[in-house]
Structure 1
């Protein structure tokens, strides 16, 4: 069975391919998903598809096309304001969008965070903490992050063979502990942050369903998203109040006490909540997914593990290849504000586009042998952090965390192997490995 795109498209995309890419359950297995991406790149590099229950959406699978869209926020909106009928930059089904609008009076802007904003509002909110996230500023945290990496290895691993789930027993905890420490969240609250993050990104995954949400309903994912956001708000409200009364030397203070250049008053609390949620979720989940993918790749390619152990100066390259390989942010969507010509087709004003970063990072027009893991790949023009104004503000911190952990861990690895079946998070948004049984032998 095939689906014919709307008249502006000249390409027919098999329904199986469209569903594999659009639906969360299509992301349960990497191999069929990447085959679907490959089919699109070779046969329909730009096509609009319609999957039942979802708005029609253009699938952008090529590196150059995504960069072209990302660098033009004045044409391709991320959020489109907070008025009724605004755009949702995170792909939800129609029932989920309707549920969100029922909570907000018609808007799809459920969070006051960078993802939902366009310049100049995006620029103003980003500037709240932009200086903190610059590489020169992050150098001051180098020693503390290294101490946390050593502490993580000492607490979670021992000399000799370690049989473990590399995701749950190792990769998840270190990035969370780093970001929460720098952020200013007490260590005893980290399990709560971990649970909320799993619920936040696992809205379509049966393994992470909340007990207060009816699973497997069309609007169930949006209900979980909303409920989790409210739980985050309840926690972070106390943090905002505390930092406004008693400033600390942490990121939470910078955000909580930021003042609008337009009014000279504190930004609304919702802006701080949006920052806090972004940091508490994407600030560690994407890093842990990348770390797990790197360990898996090194286990499957022992010659590359030996290479980076001989030449530790290659660790930054390993981090970049791990980011390309994992691409933990699978997609964001944009909406065209005017008609736009691309690849000989017309994207109409009001059309939505799904920017597929995983596919772009396997684009053979940009990467030699894109389906092979090469830790010393150069150049490596991956867009795992996005591109343009929406390029991830935390990218330098993520690379720093990964580099430091690998500098501490790799010299101590005597052997590394995958010992069981892997499992990935069922999501079409942000996610990676959920389970990775391994034997990690330390010297």
Structure 2
């Protein structure tokens, strides 16, 4: 990484540290840093103690350009999630030199990525999802009913937003409803490992991030659960997604146990957590912008726009890492083979060159070329399901909701990979 010594491209220490500090993703510091970087060092080098140096891509155009060149910028050569040197070393020791504790679609490149994606891709295409719309609408009505039953005040995250998409994806996957609380807890412990409230090691909040970043026990618990589910579906397959995964074949051979368990985990976590965050992010923004709330409530045709704007606004997947496979250039900067690059999606989604008034929430924003689902070969597999779920929920909720306002102090989770609202106290009136 000789290029990493190029001082003229080095990001100032405070901004570099914000990129790797989970707490910065829970307050204004993140967007302050992104705003400065877009204006002054849009593709610069972050050097922070305890983390390998990396380039930070903060402009919409650069993120697109890197994302579309899947042969030049790999997911799987190093960890596609920002990780400390300590955590990387522990994983490699445990995994026989591999940097990956799991092997999901986000850890794969061609040709494996296409083969494994094809196993479930049909399930998440719009034509198949149409058959689920009535079932999802029933689930959405139940979520609105539960909100109504709170009597006018609730924590929208923990009483509504978390449970609706969780129930949808678990129904599709084939996880019994009685096990949904367990799946939710494990998901929060996985994505919120560095959060002092959500992580399993919350009691160790005073310890360095690198000691809390990866909780091997959470992965073990996921594996144990899905191994039993997989065995059951191999013995008695049915029409759920777990049966598809359990009985999949790659190059004519049964899918390995490790890769099957990894597949279950990515579906069971990313399949609901990001949708929950975007839903809660939308409600938070609507509660703070009564004019936008009235606008979309008066005109239901704006609901798809509300969905896209909430995804842009929240951008639950904040970052992904890529590794250069050859010497190249980005924005005129020389990138060396093996360099690590952070794609800052939440920054690209506030890029002033692409979005008018990017720090304003607009339910009627057009066009809305957000990057929250990624781009290129790794475009989010579940994007159509996520947008359909949110559309249906708002179609059911907005007619019943007369007004809504913040009734306490909302909070975002402290995590630099996947984060979103973890608390959203509301006061509301029903129509």
Same fold (TM over 0.5): yes
Partner Cα separation in structure 1 for residue 326 and residue 261 of structure 2: 32
**Structure 1 runs of 4+ off > 6 angstroms?**
none
What pairs up with 1:164-203 in 2 under 5 angstroms? Answer: 164-203=154-193
The count of corresponding residues between Structure 1 and Structure 2 is 428
SS for the counterpart of 2:138 is: helix
Per the alignment, do residues 33 and 259 of structure 1 end up closer, same or farther by CA in structure 2, a change over 3 Å counting?
same
Superposed CA offset, 1:95-131 (max 9, x none): 1111111111111121121010001110000000011
The answer to whether residue 94 in structure 2 is matched with residue 103 in structure 1 is yes
Q: Choose which of 56, 61, 64 in structure 2 pairs with 1:59.
A: 56
Deviation at 1:314, TM superposition (A): 1.0
Taking the aligned partners of 1:213 and 1:267, their CA distance within structure 2 comes to 38
C-alpha RMSD of the superposition: 1.5
Pairs within 5 Å for 1:52-201: 52-80=49-77, 87-158=78-149, 161-201=151-191
Q: Which residue of 1 aligns with 2:364?
A: 376
Q: Answer whether contact 2:327 2:336 (CA < 8 A) is retained.
A: yes
1:417 and 2:415 aligned = no
Equivalent residue for 1:314, pick from 287, 298, 302? 302
Residue 346, structure 1, aligned to residue 334, structure 2? yes
Shift of 1:13: 2.3
1:49 is the counterpart of 2:46: yes
Shift of 1:211: 5.2
User: How high is the TM-score relative to the length of structure 1?
Assistant: 0.94
- Partner Cα distance (1:276, 1:287) in 2: 17
2:4 aligned counterpart, secondary structure: coil
Q: In 2, Cα distance between the equivalents of 1:218 and 1:212?
A: 11
- In structure 1, distance between residues paired with 2:303 and 2:341: 35
- Distance in 2, matches of 1:208 and 1:171, equals 16
Instruction: Output the CA distance in 2 between the equivalents of 1:184 and 1:442.
Output: 34
- Structure 1's unaligned 5+ residue stretches are 81-86
User: Which structure is higher in helix share?
Assistant: 2
Q: Deviations over 1:399-419 (max 9, x none)?
A: 010000000001110110011
**How far apart are the structure 1 equivalents of 2:204 and 2:20?**
22
**Alpha-carbon distance, 1:265 to partner:** 2.8
Mean Cα deviation higher: 315-324 or 8-17: 8-17
* Contact 2:172–2:240 (Cα < 8 Å) also in 1: yes
CA drift of 1:343 comes to 1.6
TM-score calculated relative to the size of structure 2? 0.96
Paired residue secondary structure (1:376)? coil
CA distance in 2 between counterparts of 1:66 and 1:128 reads 27
SS of alignment partner, residue 132 of structure 1:
helix
